[in-house]
Structure 1
């Protein structure tokens, strides 16, 4: 699947900034200790269990550091991994392998942690109609990769940023003076600006759900921090007129009961803000 935010430019821009942060005016450890013409190889070892992510990105990173490096992918993004697996090998200039090593590992470890947890939560809601969504609770300047990892793990992306969808959250509603006021002002703004953006409204209780339904002109109603009983009633009130999304403090122990309320989507910030990275390492080896 090719995602709209995943372009050659977005990936290369990220890699360029990340390498500049890490290398500065040179990888002096490698330049000082390894002969410039030395050739070697390394393999990426898996030291944990989960779902692999970041393999394709690793190829871009190695190529950006040194286009002559030869990468052999042994396990693809989305593969189930276990301790002892080898995900890829890389051969070529030893200095280049060492320079790329940390960025490759940092990205793949975090992405694999995200894809693993996403896959776990997706499994928990199998058999329901609910789809698992990520949020904007991401690491600054790493959102592209984190959202990519969610998709690799079987989840779905919510809006990428503030620019590609409107979500009227509780503070927007309170500042605007209420549900109806926030929706009407938003509709007016979009008309004036000539923008075609989907509108979602966060609701905190059944009265706000009713107001959102009566006002209309929206695409999705978010049911925030509601009990399963309240969510079921809200879904019945909405009656398929608008998409529904459950949000707020949803965990692996509660996600199944939330999904069974009949919501279309469940958004979980923990997919990207509270995951444990999968342990990976890049080790030199002899043929």
Structure 2
């Protein structure tokens, strides 16, 4: 994760939360009152985003001392102390919610990703994220997926070719069939990028492999149809499964022989991990 991506996200969040100041803290807490806060896990999970939390407090008050007790990727248990912050209490209180929002969201993504990765252990399938992320937080969310043991799919529209159903429908209106679509895309794509195409049936998967697609995405197929598609592709392309995949069926999806499993829920539906900040008395 690049530092500038963290800085931009933190600056946006602080502007959102502190654009009109912190009237409660200003009205109650003397500026020279110092103390210590502890960030604590209230449930089990995987930590992600500790450097983002540090950035929040440092942006608010560079004089604060932020000390990590554990690092990203650490397995948290009930009451694990994640970090301590010492200095002006007004600064700690003003940064509390923004720092926790990042920590809870990113740790939730990492924790959910780790569960999927564990579920397909000892298969060849790799767990991928998607671009279904909260606007403005994509790079942080994808970092959390990596912490959870997953892999990143495209980070933006320019770093990978993915011909989806709506692209295909639009091309069909222009008189292009599946092989022609793949041929044109391979002729125009940068040589460093693979061409991936979404298909809805095993027969389309076979046609896509014959036309030279590098990756074939099986969209919302049954397990039986996935197995047929993998057989028809016969190693000529990587095969990715997507759509309708949950923890309860991801192992069965992996068993069909697909190489990749992409799951939007990793970043758009992960439950926030319960993490809190407590001021020490």
Normalising by structure 1, we get a TM-score of: 0.92
Aligned residue number for residue 25 of structure 1 = 20
Structure 2 residue corresponding to 1:131, chosen from 126, 131, 151 = 126
Whole-angstrom CA distance in 2 between matches of 1:189 and 1:237:
26
* Contact 2:45–2:108 (8 Å) recurs in 1: yes
4+ residue runs over 6 A deviation:
none
Secondary structure of the 2:72 match is: coil
For residues 146-193 of structure 1, what are the alpha-carbon distances to aligned partners after superposition, in whole Å with 9 as ceiling and x for unaligned? 111111111111111111111001111121113223223323433xxx
Aligned residue number for residue 252 of structure 1 = 247
Whole-angstrom CA distance in 2 between matches of 1:31 and 1:232:
62
Secondary structure of the 1:42 match is: strand
* Contact 2:10–2:52 (8 Å) recurs in 1: no
Say if 2:208 is the partner of 1:212.
yes
Aligned residue number for residue 91 of structure 1 = 86
Q: CA RMSD in A?
A: 1.5
Aligned residue number for residue 201 of structure 1 = 197
Q: Deviation of residue 195 (structure 1)?
A: 6.6
Normalising by structure 2, we get a TM-score of: 0.94
For residues 171-224 of structure 1, what are the alpha-carbon distances to aligned partners after superposition, in whole Å with 9 as ceiling and x for unaligned? 11121113223223323433xxx67432110111122112211211x3211111
The answer for unaligned runs of 5 or more in structure 1 is 1-5
Aligned residue number for residue 58 of structure 1 = 53
Q: Deviation of residue 131 (structure 1)?
A: 0.5
The answer for unaligned runs of 5 or more in structure 2 is none
Alignment of 1:179-194 (within 5 A): 179-190=178-189
Q: How many positions carry a matched residue from both structures? A: 277
Whole-angstrom CA distance in 2 between matches of 1:174 and 1:211:
16
Whole-angstrom CA distance in 2 between matches of 1:133 and 1:72:
32
For residues 80-129 of structure 1, what are the alpha-carbon distances to aligned partners after superposition, in whole Å with 9 as ceiling and x for unaligned? 11221111111011111111111111111111111111111111100000
Aligned residue number for residue 264 of structure 1 = 259
Q: Relative to structure 2, which stretch is displaced further, 172-181 or 88-97?
A: 172-181
Secondary structure of the 1:253 match is: coil
Q: Relative to structure 2, which stretch is displaced further, 56-65 or 161-170?
A: 56-65
Q: Deviation of residue 25 (structure 1)?
A: 3.5
Whole-angstrom CA distance in 1 between matches of 2:255 and 2:229:
13
* Contact 1:172–1:182 (8 Å) recurs in 2: no
